[in-house]
A and B are shown apart, each in its own frame.
Chain A
Amino acid sequence: MAASRGLCFGLARLGARMGRSRPPLTHRRGVSSCIDPSHGLTEEQKEFQKVAFDFAANEMAPHMAEWDQKELFPVETMRRAAQLGFGGIYVQPDVGGSGLSRLDTSVIFEALSTGCVSTTAYISIHNMCVWMIDTFGSAEQREKFCPDLCLMEKFASYCLTEPGSGSDAASLSTSAQLKGDHYILNGSKAFISGGGDTDVYVVMCRTGGKGPKGISCLVVEKGTPGLNFGKKEMKMGWNSQPTRAVIFEDCAVPVANRLGMEGQGFNIAMRGLNGGRINIASCSLGAAHACVQLARDHLLVRKQFGETLSNNQFLQFKLAEMATKLVASRLLVRQAATALQENRSDAASLCAMAKLFATDECFSICNQALQMHGGYGYLKDYAVQQFVRDIRVHQILEGTNEVMRMIVSRNLLSEI
């Protein structure tokens, strides 16, 4: 029976459906383990997760190394993902979104990330932008932008950071002067994911006085005169998405493109980031999950001192610690997602805690998985180094882990 399965089923089918002959990471053992990410999910969530895992294994994992090495922005693959509903996961269905919860979203991004962290992270940033337009936009703005974005006919970028304002985001200086029915933008944004290749830019800029209350949110479309881009940055990871400075030189943007009220921009940006932090943390979870499995498989195969590494107690214990930290991170991220969905009062703090904890722990997990591979872990032939390089930046963007500590401590120490 076991032999005939391979013969009859044939590698042709496996070849057609999957770019490589190795089965998807989660499925090989068959019996679910303590780190199985489907534990505790509803039947429906398990279905979403399965589609995401299958898509990651078949459409992303076979290409993740090439996308990284050649710095390719996989537009067609992302559009295929959008066909399945991954372009606007928590966007409302009336404008083309899938209308799912933050927890469903976390589960999906975690699964997709096992196929390629960089691409999944970009998809999550795109999702965040579409959500902002969906939530704060007028009926006209939602109709105009969301349907194309949900299908990834058009791609979006989130523009908050500037050369002079990173963690101190509220001090941003890109100005937007009102002239008739247009705002004239001057200034520049730094480190913009997708910058130069995307179509819709959600830009936080200063329409009023200093501080957060003077900031508004404008949607700027590619091709607007005065919208320029810097050189493509060369990065340690996240190479399947281009990163560029976005430069505004007397760039005229219609007032009709403003999301929400003047002075509401900072709030919109931060509301977007709460979800963005869960998404990024979820991407880290996926990478760590993949790396724990890679490490496990390596320990069962590699022999030194006359036996497989899996017989070495230090490595057994190390693997157990990695698994424990992974599950702990996952629980915190999922709890934060639920809190955000329910609009709980602790949602923002929990999102910050989840981002802080999960990105730090998961980086450590991936790094240890690399160490367990020995010299092989350092070679680009092995996926583990790409997971390490790709998730390193998750501890920095969408609010550095230092800023996450600021948010949490403020919540604990405020007198209110």
Chain B
Amino acid sequence: MQGTKLEIPLWLAKGLHDSKRRIISVELPKIYKEAWRTVFSADATVVDLHKLGPYYYGFGSQLLNFDNPENPEIAQTLLQTFISRFRHIMDSSQNAYNEDTSVLVARLDELERALFQAGQKGLNDFQCWEKGQASQITASSLVQNYGKRKFPEMDG
């Protein structure tokens, strides 16, 4: 029905979007609009991106698929937000060894969390090497995770 407003998933909106046929028009979620964009440009490091939508960067990038006059500004905001937050993520992930990191990752969106984990893995691998454990052969993760379930029929 023409003129109705609906909420549909992104994949559906992408599929139905067609600049020639004009089946649907997309309204931006509020965090990508003017008001929030100025908040991000003021100070991006204090924003809780996890609460605002755990996929801020990914979803924002997908939004650029729809013809929207504000696209250049959205793209710019995404980039600048990422740049200003990245340094902090890199620092904290490389310096938090064997600690509870839940406070550090609480306000990160999913992309940032993946980066944080990559940093942590690098740190842990390095520490392992420093302790001389890098040459220790370990059981495969399959065995470690399923050690409780015995493999009695495993004869090697």
Q: Are A and B part of the same complex?
A: no
Residues of B within 8 A of A (CB): none
Residues of A within 8 A of B (CB): none
